[in-house]
Chains A and B, each alone.
Chain A
Amino acid sequence: MISFFLNDQPIHTTEPAASALLDFVRYHEHLMGTKIGCREGDCGACTVLVGELVEADQRIAYQSMTSCLTPLGNVHGKHVVTVEGINQGSGQLTPVQQAIVDHNGAQCGFCTVGFVMSLTGHSLASTPATEQNTRAAIDGNICRCTGYKSLERAAAALTATLAERPSTDKVKWLQERHFVPAYFEEMPARLATLRAKIAVSEAPAAAASGSQVATGSVVSTSPHGHFQSQNGHDSNSFPHATHPLLSGGTDLLVQRLDELRQQPVRLLFDQNDRRGVHQVAGRVVLGAATTASQLLESEVMRGLLPRLPAYLKLVSSTPIRNMGTVAGNFVNASPIGDLTILFLALGADVTLQNVAGESRSLPLAELYLGYKKLAKAAEEQVTKISFPAPQVGDLFNFEKVSKRTHLDIASVNTAAWLRLENGLIVAARLSAGGVGPVPLLLARTSEYLVGRELSAETVAGANEVMQAEISPISDVRGTAAYKRLLLRQLLFAHFLRFVPEMTLAELI
């Protein structure tokens, strides 16, 4: 049984855990304001808000998510808000809606609700309401018509309004100004009650399964093609070790929705001990289900990598960063996974745990055996990621080039970490994606760098080694020749970041 609030209504459903929240909202609950555009998280037309209790259940933190890729099981115990849940009963527009109308930000209207939800999520968030942050809130929403300029003007107007927003009692303030309806104020208490009930009902089951909630014995389908449990309860449906693991859903619901919603899954997203970033002695330890957004918010990470916000701005979009997890990026095994490339250069290890509860660790680079082939049994799950904390004076940089700068998959990405002593490189890790069947830690190139100076000569030599270490192929993200040239350029970019005054003959 999956229980949550959809707007102001409690929901208890036996729909499969891996079915898409979008389908539930549209075809089960017939809330048609949330639109289907692409079903792969790339357009934002299906954006909804998902809120969970924080701060000792006193407050709900809302995040925008694309409901097409949100496994229904991942909203268990949470508050899901669609446009119907923020519309004022009086027909009056919310300030977000009014700003879009005032600035003519809606043309065909199909994408509009997605923008409304993203901006409403931003209004509810604790992120400061700067113009940059307001724009970032809608960076996952595509408007083909395209009213971006009008929407930017609407966003600017909204930023001005939100400048007055207090840091405490935010919901009350927003409610008084009709950003959200009155019921929002009661939601933390209602959600806490719901969660308490869930805890009672699930206590024995959770202990037995060793995993958090997951449901979904599939038996028949509803008239709209969405699976419904025949018997209305979920006995015997707890997943076993053989059942697929599902985390944020941002890859698996694109690739395997039809298959996954027909079987129980082991949900990983909401395991609290699998979230968060901590520094322990000289190592940084991340829970496997830490999302890209949580990385970005982590003071530990930002302290160690001051340019992390700039890197992560190049990685997917706000709603996808709210959903996609670091471990999910690793095990998806895309040769071009952005976070994978970043963590390869950080020298990350992953900890895997089998069903018996036994753990083992291996270097991230050794997780990849071949294209989409992992040194991990299907039943093993990543529980932890750790890497040695970079020291003061270490150099780090991440580069990514894609056809579209933002919300796109890289043609080539790369990260570099160097440690220097007395002007010489004493340790180096260079990673690159899109230039081989797996995300690559360029061991030979890294090795080449050790013992050398930060000089143009070193860079040129490293490029020679690197070109022999990679094997790009031509595909929709570029020709092999382009990827080779591009990686050379990005290698140069790393060193120009480290030594801005360096003169590279190839660039003249």
Chain B
Amino acid sequence: MNHLDPQRHVRGESQYLDDVPVQQGTLYAAVYESPLAHGVLKSLDLRAAQKAPGVVRILTAADIPGRNQIGGIVPDEPLLAEGHVHFRGQPVALVLARTEAQAHAALKLIAADIEPLPIITDPRQAAAQGELIVPPRTFRIGDSGAAFAGCAHVFEGVAESGGQEHLYIETQAAYAFPTELGGVKIISSTQGPTAVQRHCAVVLGIGMHQIEVDVTRLGGGFGGKEDQATPWGCLAALGAYVTKKPVKLVLDRMADMRMTGKRHPYSSDFKIGLSADLKILAYEVTYYQNAGASADLSPAVLERTLFHTTNAYCIPHVTATANSCRTNLPPNTAFRGFGGPQGMFVIESAITKAAEELGVLPSDIQRRNLLREGDLFPYRQPAEMCHAEQAWDTAAELFDLAGERAKIASFNAKNRLFKKGLALMPICFGISFTKTFMNQTRALVHIYTDGSVGISTGAVEMGQGVNTKIAQVAARTLGISISRIKIETTNTTRVANTSPSAASATADLNGKATEMACQALRERLLRHASTEFSVEYEGIAIENEQVLAAGIPAETTWEKLVSSAFVRRVALTENAHYATPGVHFDAGTESGHPFAYHVYGTALTTATVDCLRGTYTIDSVRIAHDFGQSFSPAIDRGQIEGGAVQGIGWMTLEEVSYNDEGRLLSNSLNSYKIPDLYSVPAVLDVHFLDTPGHPNAILRAKAVGEPPLMYGIGAYFALRAAIQAFRPGVALPLMAPMTPERVLGGLYPEVVAVEQVRVAS
């Protein structure tokens, strides 16, 4: 969102990829996908398709001039299948035709001869067969094995969380143009322009300088376009490079859903040990991450699961092991939270299981074990400027936890077929890319001679409001009106070697780089002013477009200052490089200081279950959140509300399902449901905690992108509490999402069990 983006959005004037006017001669691409989830690709019959009306060329792996490789972390992912196919929906060939309809029609004429191989869709089965993407990793603090012996209570269990389809409303797309120097310019709907550029260069076998990637904005990303915009960018580029014509590739919704990865499903074993007074002493967990057919970002997602294995709790003895399991599904990928939510779901499940077994409230255990200042995370970074207890206590008081409990108890006593439940969900989320080197970026700021300002950074705008924040930072730093500032498209020729817009860190990184560039420009202009207008440099400032000397307006305005500086040959452009200070991590010892800071908060969620029908409503989510010193409260509130609702979706109705053949069953918007207007809680309150922010956060306003998603986990446990109010003591599996089907199964477990036997027999 540029600061004027909302005005353009409501008028339909914001340009997304498919809105770019089409160049003459453009060819339309369609992707032929593997019809089987695993097999030997013996041959491909393209003859009929090549003769189809309008078809210009069909490209396969053999047509790739460089390397057929787009794996970002592990080189295990071909752009087009070669030799084998590893998931249903894997790109095998690219049809280029004069019209989109012709390209799609030709797909039906392609036949692949594939010798089937066994299909694995279950991560535990993959692990059992040694199908791991990378070696397992273990985070360890204390000695959990020994500590269990000293625990008054020990509980074990299994927790499972499902996938989540990104469902950005703008599907994946790219539009590539051959350049006169033998390179390619790509307009891409990507969160990671540099990733598209780097992989295109590899695929085409040319230098990165020959590839220009430009991004105006995305119609939603949520992590789904961090690495997975790359194949479509590379395919369009390949087509443009080979045919010397512009090539446009837009996935239709169902192709997008079939071919792209989603949030990783996890299946996990946990063991939790508590003292008699409910202190968590020991926690062991083994995660089985369903990575899909290739690495994509899975190892990094896996790592973040480990970083958030204890959520907002201090646990002295922890052993957490994570397996990234190769299955024959589309490669799963980044999704808001990036493995953190999956880890947090398991510790919350363990606490809930312990509470249910002990007959205490989960919140009794949660509150007693919250992080305090100086407590060590399992990776040995201390909690600094910790607000875990403040967030909890504020939420409990402000949202009247005791009163809510009493109301729910009274409602449940009075109603037989409707039951309410409540859950608290504290969060603690680390901000930074956990790969330390990625925490760097640059900003390029031009002041034009009329005083207007153009800013380029590595940030991609996808609705999170980063461009508005960058404009605000620049306006504040330069002392000018925001109306003078334009945020340029994200372009690899202006700002190179960028990290993707991800990890909640985009505003911090790019905002800081912008601040540095603007500070340098301001200082330069003020030095010029002190000479030009003979005023003391100390005490000189620009505020509201006025130059002030010791607080008194000097004889010059911003416009005059800029134009006079230009005449005196003062540089009006600045390029600043920012790298987050103090972050480091040693993967050898699995310890260090990977995060610039942590974000805290607590949500109080209530839900009502219709115990006749198994349907439910999430009634209220009230959140006390650690924003630090928000300078864009409207944007930040929107991020919290949106993240929480997405998290509720993940935990309740969003159910990604594949069959045993690796075919996606939830393959369209009619079979995969995301929250609609009516499924949003009637009450969604966000309280801005009084916290000082962090010096590593831009203007001390903490990152807001991912942390709120995890508030949604509270919805799962509130529903669980409501089911137990109807069936006290019922043994419910710890399995998300809590769909109406799972709810009804929990309410009437004996019926479902009986019926399943009947159906099976």
Contact = CB atoms under 8 A, between A and B. Distances in A.
B464 interface: yes
Interface stretch (B87-95, B492-500, B584-592, B633-641): B633-641
Contacts of A421: none
Contact of A104 (B14, B101, B103, B637): B637
A488 to B, nearest CB: 8
Contacts of A254: 670
Find the residue from B9, B166, B642, B758 having the highest chain A CB count within 10 A. B9
B614 A489 contact: yes
Q: How large is the interface on A (under 10, 10 to 19, 20 to 34, 35 or more residues)?
A: 35 or more
A401 B10 contact: no
Interface string A481-495: 110111011101100
Contact of B669 (A30, A43, A151): A43
B745 A113 contact: no
B269 interface: no
Interface string A390-408: 0000000001011111111
Given A482-B745, A507-B612, A409 B219 contact: no
Contact of B22 (A223, A488, A496): A223
Contacts of A40: 253, 668-670
A482 B167 contact: no
Nearest to B673: A404
Q: Chain B at the A interface: mostly helix, strand, loop or mixed?
A: loop
Interface string A110-140: 1111001000000000000000000100110
A337 to B, nearest CB: 13
A224 B99 contact: yes
B217 A108 contact: yes
B99 A223 contact: yes
A474 B28 CA distance: 39
A431 interface: no
A119 to B, nearest CB: 10
Contact of A481 (B9, B13, B759): B759
B463 A87 contact: no
B18 interface: yes
B752 A221 contact: no
Contacts of A112: 9-10, 12
Contact of B677 (A110, A116, A135): A135
A485 B22 contact: no
Interface stretch (A142-150, A180-188, A281-289, A435-443): A142-150
Interface stretch (B315-323, B356-364, B714-722, B736-744): B736-744
B220 A403 contact: no
A406 B253 contact: no
Contacts of A409: 670-671
Contact of B1 (A107, A110, A401, A481): A107
Contacts of A36: 18, 171
B675 A225 contact: no
Given A33-B12, A404-B676, A482 B464 contact: no
B673 A408 contact: yes
A403 B739 contact: yes
Q: How large is the interface on B (under 10, 10 to 19, 20 to 34, 35 or more residues)?
A: 35 or more
Interface string B414-426: 0011000000000
Contacts of A42: 668-670
Contacts of B488: none
B462 interface: yes
Given A93-B10, A404-B673, A479 B679 contact: no
B295 to A, nearest CB: 26
A274 B646 CA distance: 43
Given A38-B668, A404-B673, A106 B22 contact: no
Interface of A: 30, 32-40, 42-43, 45, 82-84, 87, 93, 96-97, 100-101, 104, 106-113, 116, 135, 138-139, 141-142, 144-152, 221-227, 254, 258, 399, 401-409, 411, 474-482, 484-486, 488-490, 492-493, 496, 506-508
Interface of B: 1, 5-16, 18-19, 21-22, 26, 28, 54, 98-105, 166-171, 217-222, 252-253, 416-417, 462-465, 611-615, 634-635, 637-638, 641-642, 645-646, 653, 655, 657, 665-666, 668-671, 673-680, 684, 739-741, 744-745, 748, 751-752, 755-756, 758-759
3 tightest A-B contacts by CB? Answer: A33-B12, A108-B463, A110-B219
14 contacts: A107-B642, A108-B219, A138-B677, A142-B674, A144-B166, A149-B680, A221-B54, A221-B99, A403-B741, A406-B677, A479-B759, A482-B741, A486-B741, A489-B614
Given A135-B677, A403-B739, 6 more contacts: A42-B670, A108-B462, A116-B12, A403-B673, A476-B657, A485-B745
